């Protein structure tokens, strides 16, 4: 669980890579709560998580998301990356994007 651990844009790719190497062996649940994550940071974390199918729970709360991370989630679903995932929860999130929403 990463609660209130602030992740900046330069840390997100490395954190995503570490998730990719840890998930198959040890990480089955990931709770990201109030980490100052936005759309590009979440996308980078998801890139790392997309390389494995070992995650059972992804809980994402009080962080941002947007078109980049939504597109990455769609790719992960299309590739069956969530085949073993039982819980995928996004709660109290905010849409962050420079792209206008219609």
On whether residue 79 sits in a domain, the answer given is yes
On whether residue 42 sits in a domain, the answer given is yes
Domain count, the chain: 1
Mean pLDDT of 19-33: 79
Cα–Cα distance measured from residue 38 to residue 68, given in angstroms and rounded to the nearest whole number: 10
On whether residue 101 sits in a domain, the answer given is no
pLDDT number for residue 52? 73
Give the confidence band of 82 by pLDDT, cuts at 50, 70, 90: confident
On whether residue 6 sits in a domain, the answer given is yes
pLDDT > 80? residue 101: no
pLDDT number for residue 80? 86
pLDDT > 60? residue 40: yes
On whether residue 12 sits in a domain, the answer given is yes
Q: How many CB atoms lie within 10 A of CB 71?
A: 13
Instruction: Tell me the residue range of the domain where 15 lies.
Output: 2-95
């Amino acid at each position: 669980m990463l609660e209130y651990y602030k992740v900046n844009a330069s840390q997100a790719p490395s954190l995503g890579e570490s998730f990719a190497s840890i998930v198959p062996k040890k990480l089955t649940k990931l709770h990201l709560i109030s980490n100052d994550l936005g759309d590009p940071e979440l996308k980078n974390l998801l890139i790392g998580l997309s390389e494995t199918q070992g995650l059972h729970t992804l809980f994402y709360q009080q962080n941002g998301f947007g078109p980049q991370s939504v597109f990455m989630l769609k790719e992960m679903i299309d590739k069956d990356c969530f085949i073993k995932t039982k819980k995928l929860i996004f709660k109290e999130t905010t849409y962050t994007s420079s792209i206008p929403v219609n």
